[in-house]
Amino acid sequence: MRNALLIAVREFLDNIQTRGFWFGILLVPLLWLMASQVPLILARKGTPTRHLALIDATAGERLFDVVLHHLKTAESRRELFHFREWVAPRLKSGQALPAADKQPQAWSKLQEDLGPLMKVDAGRFAPPTPLNRLVALPPELEWRGHLSEFEGRLRDWMREERLFKPVGVDEEVPLFAVAILQDGPSSNAPPILRFWSANQADTQLQDRIVDALSRNFRSREYSRLGMDPSTIAQVEASQAQLMSFNPRKAEGEEQVGMADLLRQWAPSAFVYLLWIAVFSISQMLLNSLIEERSNRILEVLLSSVTPLELMTGKLVGVAAVGAVMTLGWIGSLVLMTFWTLHTAGAAALAADSIANRLPLELATLLLDSWLLPAFVLYFLLGYLFYAAVILALGSTCNNLKEAQNFTGVIALLMMVPLVSIAFIPKDPNGPVATVLSWIPPYTPFVMMNRVAANPPLREVIGTLVLLLLSDVAVLWGCARIFKTAVLRTGQPASLVQLARWVLGRD
Amino acid sequence: MRTHYAYSGSGRESEKLFRFCDGSIQDAWMSGSWDVLVDEERQEHCRAMSTALELRHVSKSFGGFHAVQDLSLSVPAGSVYGFLGPNGAGKTTTLRMILGMLSPDSGELSVLGSPSAMLVRNRVGYLPEEKGLYSKMTATSVIAYFATLKGLSSARANQRARELLGRYGLGAFADKKVETLSKGMGQKVQVLASIAHDPELVLLDEPFSGLDPVNQEVLEDILVDLKARGCTILFSTHVMSHAERLCDRLIILGGGRGLFEGTVSEARSLLPIRITLETAEGSPTLEILPGVHSMEAQSSNRWRLELEPGASASAVLEACFERSLRLRCFDVQDPDLHEVFVHLVGPSAREAALR
């Protein structure tokens, strides 16, 4: 026992002293940080303003103003959203942001109105750079009334990806798009948007213009047919209300809120962590075994310890590495959650925006549920299963290259639970999830994924017992292979040979 | 508490026990029982007096390949024992059986009085043939680690590691990582790791291979120091001069069998002594000299004599004086271990190499 412990300690220290280990620990919070902060930063800094030229080639030439108004409204809405985000943490304590107006309102006026509610040192809000800016075309692209002739020139000009300096802009910019508004084929048909842009991936701008044109056309048609546009707008705005209930929840708490959604999907994140943890530390185990095997340290070790002590020591040592790694991940997630909470401030929570409530819900979920204990349990049991197999197979290989033939197969088998992450939360107690739960190598991942959906107790216990039994069986069989194979040299063992060793016939 | 061990086997094995143990065992054996009961204390006493390691008719096969066949040997306590043999002679397999990593198909082992080295593993040190260490650990910590696995406390192991590194010229590298050491230094560190727990029996598989002459001398010093402290050393080697200089006894293996076991001088006496003899005048009748097996004239008054086994050169010299031969040269060439080795394993080794 003392020897197993000595081996475990060395294994642990050896692994946590590698750069890869710390990189692995930092990677998860780093990814989390990027996932949560980068979109916000990008939204704040804004994508570079896109320059758009608008040509109204319709007979009445009234659509230009319609589109212009629509784009401006969208832009001020966006400014207002940023303004609300900016205001929330700067409100005096105890003050809440008034409910948003339906009508967009200029932020500058809002700041004046909100002045008395805000902290003294709030400063002034700087609006984000606009998403789109309407510009006049350069002289060589002057509209001369003929569509095909203009589009010929336009095509050539845009193909060259030229920069130009529009009126009112200080620098040379590329032309993102040219929108040509055209009458429909008949007087009762809606207008046509001919949208020229080298960027066909981002459809936001063309969607907005189409939206503006459609609304305008519809309201004109309503008037023509003698219907009141405002009444229609009112009717169109009405929508059936969705209230979602979960029968498993206590009376009065049946309503499904964001916390419940989070509860449904958070296990998936844990399955990812579980998977990465099991996969990466199995790899660690394999590497250290192959190192000892290829440079014959194993022989020295086995003159001092029994193969079983060696195997136990390695399993425990690397499990400890895995525990530190996952604790590091979960700890940093919890810390970052609280940090976000702290910086956002209580006032932000009062604002009840989804982005702000998320960290609190996540923190509550982490600290007050079965997630963490389940994670620890399934981590240990899942790790033991894979680690034993890896050790047994690794003990038959002379170098990493030989071992990779085996690990490839194991990685392939491990892909199943990874793929299942995507669909199990949608039907956590469905037939696929149930069947997968009863396959021991998949039990930890699948049951972890189902943990929030309150799977039937007999299934939880049944699969757990099966997993435990198979862990014991796998450990026993693998210890037998390990004992025989670990000092062997020459070709890696065949499957028949492995089976013989397990059965003790060799 | 009196514990009894039972040995069973053929009469020959019992005979061996009988040879080095005292009368009470003899009585037990004489009474006709195949099982000889040995009192533990007495056995301990016998061990201390005579044998550190003994193999009796040990065989081991892998599939159809007979790695070791009917090998018997006995290593006296406190001696340096050479394990000689060409590649594939079964040296490493024998060492692994001694260490308990492999169990023999038949035959018996006694390591420091115990039937398995695993039971006395903290008193045994081992250096494998292919050398390797944990590259990321420091020299001190790697030596200390192996010593703790042999039962030393962590503090004591560290102290021993530094002490040994200092004593054998590696003090400056005590805190350097193993990967920064040269191959020779790494090998010395590994030798020190195998002896840091002050073992009673050390098994060294090719300890000299890969070392430069200076480091070979350091290693010889280490072995001499170990022997001086009463440690029994068994080492395998291809280099006959090391065996000649260091070994009290040796075994020459070939094809998994023991071809010779005994002292270096016993080994030498396997081959005849040769004498180159030159006289002032020609053609004396040399055949009638005592103990001369054959002679070969190299010139009119120069001969090369080969003596019969066991004959001594001084008797020849004496006979020359008796006959009043006027000698110009009388050069005695003892056969060296190299010749004995080639003589014993040459044919089979060459055969194996060509196979």
Q: B285 and B192, same structural domain?
A: no
Token digits for A237? 């705005």
Helix A371-394 crosses helix A400-420 at what angle (to 10 degrees)? 150
Q: How many Cβ atoms sit within 10 Å of the Cβ of residue A232?
A: 13
Interface membership of B123 toward A (CB under 8 Å)? no
Over the stretch A344-373, which tens digit does the pLDDT of each residue have?
554 444 444 555 556 666 666 766 667 788
CB A490 within 8 A of CB A403: no
Put simply, the chain B residues between 150 and 179 with a CB less than 8 A from any chain A CB are 150
Rg (C-alpha) for chain A, rounded Å, is 32
Across the A:B interface, residue pairs with CB atoms under 8 Å apart total: 58
Q: Which residue of A has its CA nearest to B132?
A: A295
**Using 50, 70 and 90 to split pLDDT, how confident is the model at A106?**
low
Q: Is B96 on the interface with A (CB under 8 A)?
A: yes
The CA angle B268-B269-B270, to the nearest 5 degrees, is 90
Distance from CA of B126 to the nearest CA of A (A): 6
Which amino acid, A478? Answer: C
Together in a domain, B239 and B207: yes
Please indicate, yes or no, if residue B197 is contained in any of the structural domains.
yes
Cβ-Cβ contacts under 8 Å for A283 (sequence gap 6 or more)? A407
Residues B144 and B242 in one domain: yes
User: Which of A261, A304, A273 minimizes the C-alpha distance to A417?
Assistant: A273
Q: Is residue A349 a contact partner of residue A360, using CB atoms and an 8 Å limit? A: yes
| B2 and B109 assigned to the same domain | no
Can you give the pLDDT at residue A351? 46
In chain B, the residue whose alpha carbon lies closest to the alpha carbon of A13 is B137
On whether residue B54 sits in a domain, the answer given is no
pLDDT at B314: 83
Lowest pLDDT segment from A110-119, A223-232, A375-384, B295-304 = A110-119
Q: B149 and A304 in contact by Cβ < 8 A?
A: yes
The pLDDT confidence band at residue A342, using thresholds 50, 70 and 90, is: low
Average pLDDT, stretch A49-68? 85
Specify the pLDDT at position A93.
67
Q: Stretch B22-39: mean pLDDT, rounded?
A: 38
**Chain A residue closest to B141 (CA)?**
A10
Partner A contacted by B193 (CB < 8 A)? yes
Return all residues near B112 (Cβ < 8 A) that are at least 6 apart. B47, B52, B53, B120, B123, B124, B200, B201
Residues B252, B174 within the same domain? yes
- What is the predicted pLDDT for the residue at B145? 93
Considering the domain boundaries, does residue B150 fall inside one? yes
State which residues form the domain around B75.
Answer: 59-261
pLDDT of the residue at B288: 66
| Contact residues on chain A for B132, CB-CB shorter than 8 A | 294-297
Do B307 and B183 share a structural domain? no
CB distance from B249 to chain A under 8 Å? no
Could you say which of B126, B130, B137 has the minimum Cβ distance to residue A303? B126
Q: Is the pLDDT of residue B36 over 60?
A: no
**pLDDT attached to residue A100:** 55
Question: With 70 as the cut, is the pLDDT of residue B80 above it?
Answer: yes
Contacts of B62 in chain A (CB under 8 A): none
Chain B residues in contact with A14 by the CB 8 A cut-off are: 134, 136-137
**Distance between CA atoms of residues B209 and B222, nearest Å:** 15
**Would B350 be classed as within a structural domain?**
no
- Is B93:B102 a contact under the CB 8 Å cutoff? yes
The answer to whether A9 and A317 have CB atoms below 8 angstroms apart is: yes
The amino acid at B291: G
Would an 8 Å CB–CB cutoff place B128 in contact with chain A?
A: yes
B349 domain residue, yes or no: no
Report helix, strand or coil for A165: coil
Question: B159 and B248: one domain?
Answer: yes
Are the beta carbons of B145 and A6 separated by less than 8 Å?
yes
pLDDT of res. B125: 92
Contacts of A302 in chain B (CB under 8 A): 99, 101
Asked if pLDDT for residue B168 goes beyond 60, the answer is: yes
What is the rounded distance in angstroms from the CA atom of residue A434 to the CA atom of residue A424? 10
Indicate if the pLDDT at residue B39 is higher than 80. no
Interface touch A295/B117, C-beta < 8 Å? no
Contact B20, B43 (CB under 8 A): no
For residue A296, the distance in angstroms to the closest alpha carbon of chain B comes to 6
User: Are A297 and B133 an interchain contact pair (Cβ–Cβ within 8 Å)?
Assistant: yes
Spell out which chain A residues touch chain B, with contact meaning CB-CB distance below 8 angstroms.
3, 6-7, 10, 14, 17-18, 291, 294-297, 299-306, 487
Quick check: B208 contacting A, CB < 8 Å? no
Tell me which chain B residue has its CA closest to the CA of residue A487.
B101
Q: Which residue among B261, B282, B297 closes a domain? A: B261
Cβ of A300 within 8 Å of Cβ of B124? The answer is: no
Say if the Cβ atoms of B145 and A296 lie within 8 Å.
no
A118: which DSSP letter? B
- Domain identity same for B17 and B87: no
Q: Do A296 and B146 touch (CB under 8 A)?
A: no
- CA distances to B43, B201, B226 from B46, in Å: 5, 16, 22
For residues A231 and A497, the model is more confident at A231
pLDDT of A462 > 50? The answer is yes
Question: Which positions ≥6 away from A394 have C-beta within 8 Å?
Answer: A285, A286, A289, A290, A293, A403, A406
- How far apart (Å, rounded) are the C-alpha atoms in residues A328 and B7? 58
Using the beta-carbon criterion (under 8 Å), do B146 and A300 form an inter-chain contact? yes
pLDDT of residue B38: 37
pLDDT digits (tens, 9 = 90+) for A243-262: 777 676 666 665 556 666 67
For residue B300, the model assigns a pLDDT of 78
Looking at the 3D structure of chain B, how many domains does it have?
3
pLDDT (tens digit per residue) in A131-182: 888 888 888 888 888 888 888 888 888 888 788 888 877 888 888 889 998 8
pLDDT for A367? 66
- pLDDT value at B34 more than 60: no
Are B3 and B77 found together in one domain?
Answer: no
The single-letter DSSP state of residue B172 is: G
CA distance B330 to B275: 7
Is there a domain that residue B18 lies in? yes
Q: Tens digits of per-residue pLDDT, A261-281?
A: 677 777 788 888 888 888 888
Residues of chain A with pLDDT > 70, as a percent, come to 83
The answer to whether residues B43 and B70 belong to one domain is no
For B106, residues 6+ apart whose C-beta sits below 8 A from its C-beta are B57, B58, B59
Please indicate whether, in this complex, the C-beta atoms of A300 and B127 are within 8 angstroms of each other.
yes
- Cβ distance A306 to B118 less than 8 Å, yes or no, reads yes
CA A55 vs CA A73, A83, A145, A190, B264: distances in Å: 19, 32, 10, 17, 108
- pLDDT, residue A317, reads 93
DSSP A451: G
Residue of B nearest to A16 (CA): B136
> Which chain A residues are within 8 Å of B129, Cβ to Cβ?
296
Q: Which of A1, A10, A301, A304 to mutate to test the interface with B (most CBs of B within 10 A)?
A: A304
Q: Give the Cα separation of B84 and B65 in Å (integer).
A: 20
In the prediction, which pLDDT does B237 show? 86
Tokens (6 digits) for A493: 């063992």
Residue B98 contacts A where some CB pair is shorter than 8 Å: no
Residues B12 and B113 in one domain: no
- B149 CB within 8 Å of a chain A CB: yes
Residue B43 domain-assigned?
A: yes
Residue ending a domain, choose from B235, B261, B287: B261
The mean of the pLDDT values for chain B is 79
The answer to the question of residue B247 being in a domain is: yes
Residue B302's CATH number: 3.30.70.100
Supply the DSSP string of A234-254, one letter for each residue.
Answer: HHHH--PPP--B-TTSPTT--
CATH number for the domain including B183?
3.40.50.300
Provide the mean pLDDT of chain A: 80
Residues B225, B129, single domain; the answer is yes
Interface test with A, best of B146, B149, B183, B203 (most A CBs within 10 A): B149
Query: Looking at the predicted structure, is the pLDDT value of residue A215 above 70?
Result: yes
N- to C-terminal Cα separation, chain B: 56
Q: What is the reported pLDDT for A368?
A: 63
Q: Is the ipTM of this complex over 0.90?
A: no
Contacts 24+ apart (CB under 8 A), A346-349: A346/A93, A347/A88, A347/A89, A347/A91, A347/A93, A347/A95, A347/A96, A348/A88, A348/A89
Q: Give the residue from B239, B261, B283 where a domain finishes.
A: B261
**What is the tens place of the pLDDT at every residue in B99-154?**
888 888 999 999 998 888 888 888 999 998 877 888 888 999 999 999 999 988 99
Q: So what's the pLDDT on residue B328?
A: 83
Q: Residue A379 pLDDT more than 70? A: yes
B162-191 average pLDDT score? 90
The partner residue sitting opposite A296, judged by closest CB among B117, B130, B194, is B130
* Closest to A254 (Cα-Cα) out of A245, A262, A263: A245
Query: Which tokens hold the place of B164?
Result: 């040994």
**Contact status of B124 with chain A (Cβ, < 8 Å):** yes
pLDDT for residue A284 is more than 80: yes
* Planar angle of CA A124, A130, A135, nearest 5 degrees: 135
